[in-house]
Chains A and B, each alone.
Chain A
Amino acid sequence: MLEINNVVKTFNPGTPNEVRALRGISMKLEEGCFAAIIGTNGSGKSTSLNAVAGSFLPDSGTILLDGQDISNWPEYRRASMIGRVFQNPFAGTAAEMSIAENIVLSMRRGMSRGLGMALNRRVREEIRERIRPLNMGLENRIDNAMGSLSGGQRQALTLLMATWLRPKLLLLDEHTAALDPKSAAQVATLTKEIIEREKLTALMVTHSMQQAVQLPQRIIMMHKGQVVEDIHGVRKARTQVADLMNAFDRVRRRDLFDQSVAEQVLPQYA
């Protein structure tokens, strides 16, 4: 469903602020695959997600979604195929508008919007039905302003809105990181439920090792703009948080193993 081939992106090239954010990343996600991207700060996790979403165009490499080369598509054009949930619960919804008004916008994402009434009784009933399983009591508050809800409630609704039209790809950018632990756990569970029920292809950036172990079928680890580990299949099934911590440690130790270390330790391994 998603194919990233050797994508390179350097920000501020040729300046003292040059950042080689993506150094030729490649990955292929089959349809229905839910993968998490983990990595240290500045490893290129969110940049990878933004490259797919079209927040910038890559310097080189290609991105294919559902068989179409979207590498040069602008962000708004990709939005018809991609659902996104951001870290900031306030980023995915309009605070001044009601729950129903926010949702009705997402119901017509990528479609033409005419001058007819967007919210009629049938649509309001459909909205209530879809948000009832959240078990947050929001189905009785659909006319309340989005800004009156808690971060966890807003993020749960954003997730619902992002998947309302079953996107070809769902992008989750640390979408539970700004929530309190209880809300984060609720939204994480909801994420897994929705992705499994709708059989969505999804890419999630997370800093939570626990989430990376529990939610997705595959874990992609990035370091310095490159993919360094791709854990899937039976290996994913036996992966624990400690294994991911060890993987981080391996990457860190490799960075510390420089020429001077090699000169010091190699004669002692004779």
Chain B
Amino acid sequence: MNITSSHKNNYLELKLEGRLDAAWAEHFVSTVSAAMREGRHHIRVDALGLSYLSSAGMRSLLRAHRELTSVNGSFAVIRASDFVVNTLSMSGFDTLLALDEAPAEAVADEEATSAKSKSWSVNGVRIESYSQQEDGHMEVHTTGKWTPWQPLREEDCAKIALGRDCIAIGSGAPADEWQNAREQMGDYASAAGCTAWLPGTGADAPDYLVQEGRYVPELLAASGLRAVGSFSQLLRFSPENDGASLELPRLLEAVFSSTGSTKAAFVAIAEAGGLVGVTLSRSPGLISEGEHADEFPGVRDWMSFCGERVHHGRQVLLVGFADASGSGQSQPGLPAIPSRPGWKLHVHAVVFPFRPLPNGEIFMSECVEQLFAAAEPIAMLHLVEDERPTLGLGKSSFIRGACWCAPASFHTENRK
């Protein structure tokens, strides 16, 4: 079977020629998935050249329809020959058939987008900004009093609730008692009542806790940041040219300019161009008195470095806090980054298999909950920049996605 794609104004047309049967169904589904990854959510199949349609082929059409409608897109078969019309009708799938015309939903989407958003381009990436909550703002508090890489004491830890009302990142463990928690302290990220946590036991994949009914996940946090409030802006970004992506500081520049603040809290769901980061591979609760856990080479027992740019093409949930005010004051939980003097940044990334997001204005809680419901997290990273000359891996970058953000006020608890 031959598939020819042609980009129309508001939709993608796939012209099928030949047999859509078991041998070709997967190829068709892959073509649709690749188009969805590029943000094409309205697809029409030109079936005039289709010579055969088996049940396997029909199932692939239905799958495409289901996947596209799940991201508020649309799918239909147009210019169907009599036998295709008959086959689909007799099987009860004639809802897939449409007249030869542009999808009305696509036109409506475009009109809605242009009415509600502002857009600009950065390095070949188009960014659209939507206002969400007019007075959206985040109050950020430090949680826990542990200073890396000192021995961790019970009194340094704080019990925190990670419900739908907050976003949070840091190091901790979901246990009621210190004794249970101290051996498992690891990095965590939480948004919309969904918390991913990588146990500091050398585990490869994160565990996760999701708010259900009256159950609200709780953690014993050694250190970190937790914010409550609402988002003022949504940024949608996607590449205008093949291969374009947005490095994290560039995304943050967009966050600062759209929120009108140099301090911000944000959550993003984005397709990774490549991530650079570290994870706790051993619980800091096990650091003994007088031990220098942050000295090389011993630090390799406590921390794992990604070694190369990782997770290209996967969907990533980012939860982060940034301060570009240039204030010389140190803020616990907000380390400086090497590429931008005066900037402080703390971002955790939870990695999932790729799953397309709906286009246009979308809401954080819904998207994060769907992400956790659809698949289990694969990995977790505390993002860092690697600016070493020649060998450096650079900065994490993102191809397309959504970033919800708000101006932030930082408050520090008294530390011992």
Contacts and interface: CB of A to CB of B under 8 A. Distances in A.
A266 B305 contact: no
Interface in B307-347: 307-308, 335-338
Given A264-B388, A264-B392, A254 B300 contact: yes
A150 B55 CA distance: 43
B156 interface: no
Interface of B: 148, 202, 204, 278, 281, 294, 296-297, 299-300, 303-308, 335-338, 382, 384-388, 391-392
Contacts of B300: 254, 257
A114 interface: no
A252 B308 CA distance: 10
B307 A264 contact: no
Given A262-B296, A264-B384, A269-B382, A250 B335 contact: no
Given A250-B304, A269-B303, A259 B392 contact: no
A260 B391 contact: yes
A111 interface: no
Interface string A108-138: 0000000000000000000000000000000
A267 B336 contact: yes
A268 B335 CA distance: 5
A252 B335 contact: no
6 contacts: A250-B281, A257-B299, A261-B388, A264-B392, A266-B303, A269-B278
Interface of A: 243, 246, 250, 252-254, 256-262, 264-270
Main secondary structure of the interface of A (DSSP, over half): helix
Given A243-B204, A246-B204, A261-B388, A266 B304 contact: no
A262 B307 CA distance: 12
Contacts of A252: 307
B305 A256 contact: yes
A265 B384 contact: yes
B55 to A, nearest CB: 32
Contacts of B386: 261, 264-265
A270 B170 CA distance: 11
Contacts of A259: 296-297
B388 A266 contact: no
Give the top 9 A-B pairs by smallest Cβ distance, nearest first. A256-B307, A253-B307, A270-B335, A262-B296, A246-B204, A257-B305, A268-B384, A265-B384, A268-B335
A270 B148 contact: yes
A67 to B, nearest CB: 35
Contacts of A258: 296
Contacts of B306: 253
A214 B387 CA distance: 43
A6 B188 CA distance: 39
A257 B294 CA distance: 13
A214 to B, nearest CB: 20
A124 to B, nearest CB: 52
B307 A268 contact: no
Contacts of A261: 305, 386, 388
Given A257-B304, A264-B386, A269 B296 contact: no
